[in-house]
Amino acid sequence: MAGNSFGQVFKITSFGESHGAGIGVVIDGCPAGLELDMELLNTELQRRRPGQSAIVTQRKEDEAYALLSGVYQGKTTGMPLTIFIPNSDQRSKDYDHLESTFRPSHADMTYQAKYGHRDHRGGGRSSARETAARVAAGAVAKMILNKIGVVVKAGVTQVGPIQSSTDVKNIDWSQVEQNIVRCPDLKIAKEMETLIKATKKAGNTVGGRITCHVTGVPIGLGEPVFDKLHADLGKAMLSINAVKGFEYGSGFASIAMNGSEHNDIWTTLDGQATTLTNNSGGIQGGISNGMPIYFNVAFKPVATLMKDQATITDTGAPAVAQGKGRHDPCVVPRAVPIVEAMAALVLVDHYLRDKVARM
Amino acid sequence: MAGNSFGQVFKITSFGESHGAGIGVVIDGCPAGLELDMELLNTELQRRRPGQSAIVTQRKEDEAYALLSGVYQGKTTGMPLTIFIPNSDQRSKDYDHLESTFRPSHADMTYQAKYGHRDHRGGGRSSARETAARVAAGAVAKMILNKIGVVVKAGVTQVGPIQSSTDVKNIDWSQVEQNIVRCPDLKIAKEMETLIKATKKAGNTVGGRITCHVTGVPIGLGEPVFDKLHADLGKAMLSINAVKGFEYGSGFASIAMNGSEHNDIWTTLDGQATTLTNNSGGIQGGISNGMPIYFNVAFKPVATLMKDQATITDTGAPAVAQGKGRHDPCVVPRAVPIVEAMAALVLVDHYLRDKVARM
Amino acid sequence: MAGNSFGQVFKITSFGESHGAGIGVVIDGCPAGLELDMELLNTELQRRRPGQSAIVTQRKEDEAYALLSGVYQGKTTGMPLTIFIPNSDQRSKDYDHLESTFRPSHADMTYQAKYGHRDHRGGGRSSARETAARVAAGAVAKMILNKIGVVVKAGVTQVGPIQSSTDVKNIDWSQVEQNIVRCPDLKIAKEMETLIKATKKAGNTVGGRITCHVTGVPIGLGEPVFDKLHADLGKAMLSINAVKGFEYGSGFASIAMNGSEHNDIWTTLDGQATTLTNNSGGIQGGISNGMPIYFNVAFKPVATLMKDQATITDTGAPAVAQGKGRHDPCVVPRAVPIVEAMAALVLVDHYLRDKVARM
Amino acid sequence: MAGNSFGQVFKITSFGESHGAGIGVVIDGCPAGLELDMELLNTELQRRRPGQSAIVTQRKEDEAYALLSGVYQGKTTGMPLTIFIPNSDQRSKDYDHLESTFRPSHADMTYQAKYGHRDHRGGGRSSARETAARVAAGAVAKMILNKIGVVVKAGVTQVGPIQSSTDVKNIDWSQVEQNIVRCPDLKIAKEMETLIKATKKAGNTVGGRITCHVTGVPIGLGEPVFDKLHADLGKAMLSINAVKGFEYGSGFASIAMNGSEHNDIWTTLDGQATTLTNNSGGIQGGISNGMPIYFNVAFKPVATLMKDQATITDTGAPAVAQGKGRHDPCVVPRAVPIVEAMAALVLVDHYLRDKVARM
């Protein structure tokens, strides 16, 4: 009801605030007997970590975490698995001037109106710091996907007006971690990096796009009608801070197409049903068909600028939202592991849900 | 789990198949004491009805319905409200040749694989006929929205390459029901109609886009983190047959913008907090801020063509999917009430959820 | 939220009123590929049917039903399975005098207060007629249990002060359907029948107890902590009209026992772990241990008497609740299939839930 | 699905093991703006604490806790409220000899079978230490009940064969905290204490009964059909470790009653509808009627004895379960606050659920 849980079988509950004790997640429904790959968990948290490069926020969180429950002798027990990441390097004082000020395009006004009061420090619960919980839970989901051969890869394919190809057939995902922008095209990554640095210098921010590609998905994941696989992927992505749009397969481009060019023709390859094209993005009728799944996610420019903006206070008085604190000039480099985490959570949940679909 | 329910407080469960007894919906959680507006229910079902114009499928359903439960003396009782729409004018024989054939870009293969067998007649449960249940439930949701001054309007703003403006500030929604395409721009509607007729004549299909605009939304709807208002709207839209993309507010266009141009500056108007621009699409931090909500939905071209297509059978043998039956050449004219219905369902659910957010 | 659904994987939603169009149930999550045993469904509905003998209500319902969705060629498709039982032989006029009167120990006052108005005819939704939906869904659950060797048997072991043994090891369940009281002890059944007839003649009613016994339960059903198998069984039973108590295994008698006599000692039988006694009632730590499950359910005397009772109207004025209509003098003979149905629903739900507990 | 959450609006998720890092609870859906009463939270945890008297387990937990999220300046924010209670004074070595041994009437065998392996230390997740999470969450629920005048009181009314009256009209609840047994009758409390001490000395254990009484409940709480108020109370109680039975109002005694003596006759008192008797236990048709709610809960004797018991290992070999460790000879004195906590959780959840029942 209050919206802090996600998933039905592999169900996560996220908690914590930007400047509180820390960020945590309870996974209820993680199957017993999974060996925890702590290196993978560390890697994912490091990929999302602030302060990792010159183009992201300089808040320094070491992302040390504690396993509070659900593991015995390195394996999950089937009990709730809880990961807690204490906050460090908070500078709550940076936010004192914002206690009664509504920052433009932030959640300040809506939280105040809905709840009557709010923890304004660092955005409280509305801060993207919450996504650390998603990445931690997503890492556990990836451990399960690893067992069944599902690979989730995402990368930045647009920053401001600079685009790299979204043709997933031809993307070399191994390049993503080779540059600080996390664009799979190193040449374009360089251009993006230059743009982000210039934007930062100007105290401004810029939007971006992430493309995600999932291979090895078993046939049959997804439920008809409301919980179509792409509907759950879409909700997962749209729930990430700053996301404004989602498209999968042929996406918005399909609007201008005719059925005769858009339809994916069935054939067989090595005795397996396969399609000649993949405009369906690996999903038909809401259910995976064994072809790669791919989708794009649009991120708006970060709302916090390093320049002053006119605004109002919670009593309607004119005010200035000052350009202070430490923030990302562009969210997408750090959002790549978040997109992968949310995709992994959806896929594991539907993988488990599918186990009860047939006699 | 099996995905046939939607919503948490105002929870609907949809049932029925294209060529079975009919399509129905149970609404569990409709507040007691709502006077049913049967004319509104009729109107909405008629707007979605096949056979309503020359550019839609010619299946003739009269969409007569039965209220099976939950109403006494014209008012809801707080008990499950069930609406059942019997099927009529089925021509199941039209589908005999498809019993073991996988139609391209349909759900035939995925249902077969997931469930081991399937009701192939008219696509069974994967048929867009299921959306009659959504429209019926959405009509009840609209009755509640009417009480609180929320107005949901949608219209077709693209068919194939032909576009009308998506600038919701300047759209005259009253035009939508004045033309069979349901485009708010009558001149462009004519062009779209011509394109759809030509496409139909060629046995082909074409995609489209629907823009939706919601005014009068109370401040405070939506839950932080996973159940952000736009995340639930996105899932709702993506769960509609043939949808490939969703964007709200500035959407995909925000990617290329800077924060300084994208941010919506707060000011006051008649003592109320309001923003000078509305790139946020009426939602900040996942919670409505009182400004209009608007979003776009991308629909792919209908997969059923009136021409033969190469395919395979369920045993992998080459086959031909024949161009038979009665189908829409373009889905968006009839999808307008479906988009509105799903939006209404999300808004009513969050309106009710918000009632328990504060002491 | 509104409480008309039960179960998590095998999830039923019940709808309908005593004097409305009928009673129905949607099963969402019934696995695909189950062959429907229509004879079993008929049998169960007949066992619950009013008018079946001289000691139950004489309302004549033939319990004809319609399968509205989810079945193709006799097998479940994995889609929502809907069963609808139209009402017949309603005498709504019998209830005209009760429109504004609160019958003692009925739900009249509480429904009126909670919902502002109510369908008073035959008790509306609060009528035990709703249990037809449970029995129909429970019959489908039994079809699944039949496949895995689980047998659910219930019988009447007390009517008023007259008791038969609750020692499940020694009960001959085949006797239950041999007498109209549904007591497994034919001699005591006769006494019970005499008591019920005398009670009826006096215009009065009497309470009863049902004992249920389940064999063949796989080890491992039930979830720790809140969804313990017996907690879900208890909730299922307590949700049946007129139930006032539930105990499983040693139940209330365990209070007076010492641990040394109560503990079930583990041993092996044919290589299988088994216990020498079964005070645990087949459930330890909320999880089935492979031993038989058994429990008792207490039913209060039916609140509707065939004699006048003092009461008040909805405005607080003194009134008389007249002894009219057709009612059961004792609910337990017809409640036996309801208890079995609810037990079957819990067991199938947990059987399916258990499938995702391990890697 | 995995059963570690309880409630629908006021939803708690419990985590942690007996000998892990600690026990915690996330409350998702606690209304914003509730001032936390830390003294109440402390008091409740102390009431449940081991080592509080001579008749309970001597494990020494100080029950210090940390508020990890959801509170700002002493008031709830509407965000997940997380309470974590680190474990201390664990003696995991006490359990080394049990790693592969199935203790009689414990969850060892069922956890092993269901999950493939288990954290055997102190019973792991199946330990009653988990109830600390319930008591912590229940304390927050009580803070809400305090605001609306609902008072939840429980006490021990039976230990072994020694009973005190369960006639709630005449119980003086203020006596409960005046004796270490928590029986409201001081004279009988003394007898119970003597019995428990003798039982402990003999290395044995004994069962008990708790009676709970709730006053000030608003009319209208509870949902018809499956989520009847007493059905949710019953599930809540049955989910507590060692509980074997639940009855509310007239309970099992109603079986032997006639309707004419059992029915609660409506009258008015000071213009309010009220009943002359309260066999209904304050609930009619599953919905509270404003009269006091009361119920009894049966607890079996604790399974851990301080004497050796024959058993088997996880490979079926004969073994001895040694009488070691620190355990309660009778669980009811410490279970009183747990019963109250679970009752408070159910009532707050239904109080919030009721807010959306009407237009």
Cβ–Cβ below 8 Å for C78 and A359:
no
pLDDT digits (tens, 9 = 90+) for B167-205: 999 999 999 999 999 999 999 999 999 999 999 999 999
* Global confidence as pTM: 0.98
CA dist C155 and D177 (Å) reads 43
Average the pLDDT over C319-336 and give the result. 91
Residues of A in contact with C78 (CB under 8 A): 357-358
In a domain? residue D209: yes
Q: Which of A289-293, B18-22, B237-241, C246-250 is predicted with the least confidence, judged by mean pLDDT?
A: B18-22
pLDDT band at C204 (very low <50, low <70, confident <90, very high): very high
Q: Does C21 touch chain A (CB under 8 A)?
A: no
Q: Looking at residue A97, what is its pLDDT? A: 78
Of A317-326, A335-344, C103-112, C221-230, the one with minimum mean pLDDT is A317-326
DSSP letter for B58, please: -
Centre a 10 Å sphere on the Cβ of residue C177 and count the other Cβ atoms it contains.
13
The ranges of chain D with pLDDT < 70 are: none
Of all residues in chain D, the one with the smallest CA distance to C266 is D311
Q: Say if A156 falls within a structural domain.
A: yes
Summarised one tens digit per residue, pLDDT across range B280-316 is: 999 999 999 999 999 999 999 999 999 999 999 999 9
Query: Whole-number mean pLDDT of chain A?
Result: 95
pLDDT tens-digit map of B83-95: 999 998 777 777 7
Give the pLDDT of residue D243.
98
ipTM: 0.98
Three-state secondary structure of chain B: CCCCEECCCCEEEEEECCCCCEEEEEEECCCECCECCHHHHHHHHHHHCCCCCCCCCCCCCCCCCEEEECEECCEECCCCEEEEEECCCCCHHHHHHHCCECCCCCCHHHHHHHHCCCCCHHHHHHCHHHHHHHHHHHHHHHHHHHHHCCEEEEEEEEECCEECCCCHHHCCHHHHHHCCCCCCCHHHHHHHHHHHHHHHHCCCCECEEEEEEEECCCCCCCCCHHHCHHHHHHHHHHCCCCEEEEEECCHHHHHHCEHHHHCCCEEEECCEEEECCCCCCCEECCEECCCCEEEEEEECCCCCCCCCEEEEECCCCEEEECCCCCCCCCCHHHHHHHHHHHHHHHHHHHHHHHCCCEC
Query: What are the tens digits of pLDDT across the range B10-53?
Result: 999 999 999 999 999 999 999 999 999 999 999 999 999 988 99
Query: Is the model's pLDDT at B96 over the cut of 90?
Result: no
Say if the Cβ atoms of B13 and C26 lie within 8 Å: yes
Residue pLDDT, tens place only, A147-165: 999 999 999 999 999 999 9
Mean pLDDT of C254-264: 98
Give me the pLDDT at residue B38, please.
Answer: 96
Residue C2 is predicted with a pLDDT of 96
Residue B3 within a domain = no
Choose among B4, B16, B77: nearest Cβ to C115: B77
| C53 lies in some domain | no
Predicted local confidence at residue C241, as pLDDT? 97
Is C191 part of a structural domain of the chain?
Answer: yes
Is residue C14 in a domain? no
Q: Calculate what percentage of chain C has a pLDDT beyond 70.
A: 100
For chain D, the chains sharing at least 3 beta-carbon pairs closer than 8 angstroms are: A, B, C
| Nearest Cα residue in chain A from D15 | A80
Contact B356 D355 (CB under 8 A): yes
The answer on pLDDT for C99 being more than 90 is no
pLDDT at C326: 76
pLDDT at C97: 78
Amino acid, res. D32:
A
Q: CB-based contact (8 Å) between D96 and chain A?
A: no
Q: How far apart are CA A74 and CA B169, in angstroms?
A: 57
CB within 8 Å: A359 and C9: no
Q: Please tell me if residue B251 touches chain D, with a CB cutoff of 8 Å.
A: no
pLDDT of residue D325: 73
Of A265, A303, A358, the CB nearest to B104: A265
Question: How far is C52 from chain D, CA to nearest CA, in Å?
Answer: 22
Structural domains in chain D (count):
1
User: For residue B315, is it within any domain?
Assistant: yes
The pLDDT of residue A59: 74
What is the model's pLDDT at position A211?
98
Q: Give the model confidence (pLDDT) of B117-152 as tens digits.
A: 999 988 899 999 999 999 999 999 999 999 999 999
Domain of B241: which CATH number? 3.60.150.10
pLDDT in tens, D155-177: 999 999 999 999 999 999 999 99
Choose between A284 and C323: higher pLDDT. Answer: A284
pLDDT tens readout for residues B196-242 = 999 999 999 999 999 999 999 999 999 999 999 999 999 999 999 99
Average pLDDT over residues A110-117: 96
Are the beta carbons of D228 and D286 closer than 8 angstroms?
yes
The minimal CB distance from D26 to the residues A26, A66, A72 is found for A26
Which residues of C are less than 8 Å from D114 in CB distance?
A: 219-220, 287, 354, 357-358
Q: Is the pLDDT of residue B61 over 80?
A: no
Burial track A145-155 (b if 16+ CB lie within 10 A, e otherwise): beeeebebbbb
**Domain-embedded: residue A232:** yes
pLDDT at C139: 98
The boundaries of the domain holding residue A286 are 92-357
Q: Answer yes or no: is pLDDT of C61 > 90.
A: no
Per cent of chain A over pLDDT 70 is 100
Q: Most distant CA pair in chain C: distance in Å?
A: 70
